[in-house]
Structure 1
Amino acid sequence: MSRPTIAEVARAAGVSVASVSRVLNGLPATEEMVVRVQRAVQELGYVPDSRARSLKVGRTFQLTLAVADVGNPVYVTMMRAVEEVVSAAGYRLVVTTTGSDVVDEVALVRGMARGYADGLVISPLRVDDDLIKSIRECDVPVVVAGNVPASAGVDTVRANSPKGMALAVEHLLAKGRDRIAFVNGPVDTVPGAARAKGFADAVKQYKLEAAGTIEADDFTFAAGRAAGREFFETNRPNAVICANDLLAVGVMHELAAYGLAVPADVAVIGMDDSELAEQSFPPLTSVNLGSAERGRRAAELLLARIDDDTRKPKRIVVQPTLSVRRSTP
């Protein structure tokens, strides 16, 4: 059975082929025309030829989301939010992994010149001058879900990690935990640098002496377990803040291996407030850095940039909240 054609849609709707094309491409049309075309499309089961549409209007109607690790729950949350916004605007979303090497991030941005997508949301783990230059010179609009200098002149959406760290420290102090340790990921990364600064500022603000700081090799469960072993062979904090939920769950596993109870012996707080925080045992108190909100705002900025590439770049900061669960008393 042959596929319905745009001419058949036009006949069924009682309008011209040009009118059908206007409606399908989201161009201005009367409400009556839109209703008639959409009804005909539904009745006939018409599916637009995306390849022909792309050639005609100069778009692929495809957008890319690039993250460091698609297996990290925080990126899954962000991906769902981005997809919800762009699909409502008629775009498909392609998700790709950059890894942790800035060279791979640069290669991906430069590869956008191949024309397989109309825009890019990138959440870089590491940022350098070469990456910023490639974003500025990219052939398609780019929005950064992360922190880049204002001088970069690009649309950005970022979390307020330092404030999130302050919320975690305040909560632990209110619960009588004052020997607070910190497990971070690599400090040469965007989140690692922001969270290290946040912890240092909070310790200084409350006139505390940190019970230890460890820079893990990565932001993973395995790195959290390794960090936990290092901590509890040398000292015994009564609370640990971790730079993300994967690290925190790894630390809790290691605490259990040492026969220590959470939160009775050691309170644990993560960051990101991902699905993993609710699924862990005990459920993990975590700083919500607004990953879904950041995804939504980044997608909206990208669509706005596609529509008007001349507008002034926006820098959006999403504020954190604390989700309290059973890993803190």
Structure 2
Amino acid sequence: MASVSRVLNGLPATEEMVERVQRAVEELGYVPDARARSLKVGRTFQLTLAVADVGNPVYVTMMRAVEEVVSAAGYRLVVTTTGPDVVDEVALVRGMARGYADGLVISPLRVDDDLIKSIRECDVPVVVAGNVPASAGVDTVRANSPKGMLLAVEHLLATGRKRIAFVNGPVDTVPGTARAKGFADAMKANGLRPVAEVEAVDFTFAAGRDAGVELLSGLDIGVRGSGAEARGGRPGAEARGGRLDAVIAANDLLAVGIMHELAARELVVPDDVAVIGMDDSELAEQCFPPLTSVNLGSAERGRRAAELLLARIDDDTRAPRRIVVQPTLSVRKSTP
């Protein structure tokens, strides 16, 4: 019995014993009872990844990276959606006491004191893929959104675009706060003022289209010769804050929504208006024209978060770690 257990659990055994056990497993069609195993060893061998929206391509990328790491360590990954409400995030963390998973990676859209408290008091290890205060005392992996914004602004300047607008998601969210500050700092560092700033109601395609309507209403579009005005179309109205020749969006879904609204007004990307997104998700390559986007390292963040969680499961006494993943810019056809 002991020898069979060693083989089935991947522990060292002689080649002969491994061969005999595997042959018996095949002949009998044996499948281990996960419930019995969990009761005996005190583990479920399941880990949970909680994100705001499983339909967002950036979370899909993160999920794949987390799954790759934890499956190699013998764990199954369970993915769940928290939605945008911090109350639901808190409920999920507190629900971990039910014992259906051995650890949690959570990417919260909003953070408050109740969420931090629930993470600290959670019965299983928790890693935050996002930004929480250092005083929280938990393992975290986050993107450097401010540096990503600086890359986007400097790229537009290098291509001759200075009349830049910003479309953010809700500013009371973790990414919304970071990207708003990053944009403001990047513009100030380059001696620029934004043509306009719009806050979308969400980080979705539909919200991007609505934000595009708000942005373009009353703005003068900086037609550069091959867009609407060159084809005899109607030029933009008088500007509220100058002519517009570029838009930075807080994520790729918003950016694509804006591009659709530009196309609906017969404006050409990038000839009339250049567009930059953030996240560098699969969507950035799939849209037309392909979207220039700031890569915030979603796959790397997923991998690092999974590694931190496994390390925390093995040793719950070690000091918390705070990891920052640096961004890069993926230049495509939506900018010159």
TM-superposed CA distance for 1:251, in Å, is 0.2
Instruction: Report the counterpart of residue 234 of structure 1 in structure 2.
Output: 218
Corresponding letter in the other structure for 1:87: S
Decide whether the 8 Å contact of 1:23 with 1:37 is kept in 2.
no
> C-alpha displacement at 1:30, in angstroms?
4.8
How many aligned residue pairs are there? Answer: 312
Q: Distance in 2 between matches of 1:36 and 1:140?
A: 37
For the Cα contact (< 8 Å) 2:7–2:13, is it kept in 1? no
- Kindly state the Cα deviation for residue 176 of structure 1 after the two structures are TM-superposed: 0.1
Tell me, in whole angstroms, the C-alpha distance in 1 between the residues paired with 2:24 and 2:118: 41
TM-score computed with the length of structure 2 as normaliser: 0.90
Map 1:4-19 to 2 at 5 A: 17-19=1-3
Aligned twin of 2:291: 284
Q: Percent identity of the aligned residues?
A: 83
Does the residue aligned with 2:217 lie in a helix, a strand or coil?
helix
Matched with 2:105 is: 121
Q: Which residue of 2 aligns with 1:4?
A: none
> What is the CA distance between 1:259 and its match in structure 2?
1.1
Match of 1:325 in 2: 332
Residue 248 of structure 1: aligned partner:
255
2:291–2:331: 8 Å Cα contact kept in structure 1? Answer: yes
Q: CA deviation at 1:18?
A: 1.4
| Aligned equivalents of 2:17, 2:79: Cα separation in 1 | 32
Summarize deviations over 1:290-311 as a string: whole Å, max 9, x none: 1011111111111111111111
Which residue does 2:143 correspond to in 1?
Answer: 159
Question: Residue 272 of structure 2 is aligned with which of 265, 276, 282?
Answer: 265
TM-score normalised to the size of structure 1?
A: 0.92
Question: Aligned-pair distance for 1:40?
Answer: 4.0
Q: Does residue 173 of the first structure (1) align with residue 157 of the second (2)?
A: yes
Question: 1:71-82 to 2 correspondence within 5 Å?
Answer: 71-82=55-66
Residue 104 (str. 1) matches residue 88 (str. 2): yes
Q: Which of 70, 75, 80 is the equivalent residue of 1:91?
A: 75
Q: CA deviation at 1:49?
A: 1.1
**1:188-235 deviation digits (Å, cap 9, x = unpaired):** 100000000100010110000111111110001111111111111121
Equivalent in the alignment of 2:181: 197
The 3-state SS of whatever aligns with 1:80 is: helix
Q: Counterpart of 1:144?
A: 128
> Which has a greater percent of helix?
1
In 2, Cα distance between equivalents of 1:137 and 1:22: 35
- Cα deviation for residue 31 of structure 1 reads 6.3
- Distance across 1 between alignment mates of 2:118 and 2:216: 44
> Among residues 316, 321, 324, which one is paired with 1:309 in the alignment?
316
| One-letter identity of the residue aligned with 1:62 | Q
Gaps of 5+ in 1: 1-16
Match of 1:297 in 2: 304
Equivalent residues of 2:7, 2:18 under 8 A apart:
no
- Please report the RMSD computed on the Cα atoms of aligned residues, expressed in angstroms: 1.5
Amino acid at match of 2:84: S
> Could you report, residue by residue, the CA deviation over 1:119-171 in whole angstroms, capped at 9, with x for unpaired residues?
10000000001000000000000000000011111111100000000000010
User: 1:20 Cα shift?
Assistant: 2.6
